[in-house]
Amino acid sequence: MPNDLSATVVRLLREARYASLATLEEGGAPYVSLVTVAPDADGAPLLLLSDLARHTGNLKRDDKVSLLVTDVRAADPMNAPRASLIGRIARVEADAVKGRFLTWHADAATYVDFADFAFYRVSCEEVHLVEGFGRISTLPGATITIDWSEADEVRERAKGVLDHMNSDHADAIGLYATALLGAQAGDWRMIAIDPSGCDLQLESQVRRLPFPRRATSLAAVREVLVALAKEARN
């Protein structure tokens, strides 16, 4: 299982949907802009950027970037977790990530195929996590990576699990969100699953539900989801 710090960073990235992107101007000055973000299946940040944007011109000259994600649940942003993901950025083929990105940002469907837009992935080398006053940690970039070791069955059958949960167990998903995560009631759906947790969505909100233990097989996933449903009902 991920430790508490890595689980916090993973949650921040998967729930954020928006982030502040820092790139370097031609003269070396920093430039910060607001971008949409979604995690790929391995946990790396995906961005959909226009060639017309200033940040895209910057990153094409220098691929060093930093991405700041903050806690969307926080009432006081200055006393809540936030993480700077420091690394390098590279363009990726749309076919590999388009569906994943649109799951987090359905409204991007209106412009995702425009000729001037392309997908980029951030390869994280270091994470600077601030959890509040005096609680600061520097972590390796691998902190955000989902551990898929010995979990090929889960990766390959993830869509089937999601379809089954959304069609047959919507009540349990709703309880995960409200009883376990303290979210508002509504038509919550499960949009992603991996050995360490799953992601739930209601309209523009995303919530990360960590598993109490790694689940590397379909049987283990079922056991964890059933146990979490029982916990939620109690």
pLDDT in tens, 44-58: 999 999 999 999 999
Q: What percent of the chain shows pLDDT beyond 90?
A: 93
Fold of the CATH domain 152-233? Split barrel-like (3.20.180)
Q: What is the rounded distance in angstroms from the CA atom of residue 186 to the CA atom of residue 183?
A: 9
Residue 184, both tokens: 């508002």
Angle between helices 152-168 and 218-233 (to 10 degrees): 40
Model confidence band, residue 1 (pLDDT cutoffs 50, 70, 90):
very low
Residue 91, strand partner residues: 120
SS3 string, 160-222, reads HHHHHHHHHCHHHHHHHHHHHCCCCCCCCEEEEEECCEEEEEECCEEEEEECCCCCCCHHHHH
4-144 belongs to CATH 3.60.150.10: no
Contacts of 25 (CB under 8 A, 6+ apart): 31, 58
Domain ranges of the chain: 4-144, 152-233
Asked if pLDDT for residue 158 goes beyond 80, the answer is: yes
| Helical residues (DSSP H) of the chain, grouped into ranges | 4-16, 54-61, 94-104, 152-168, 170-175, 218-233
Do 4-144 and 152-233 share a fold?
no
Question: What's the pLDDT score for residue 3?
Answer: 67
Question: Tokens for 173?
Answer: 């998903």
DSSP H or E run through 127: strand 117-132
Summarised one tens digit per residue, pLDDT across range 186-227 is 999 999 999 999 999 999 999 999 999 999 999 999 999 999
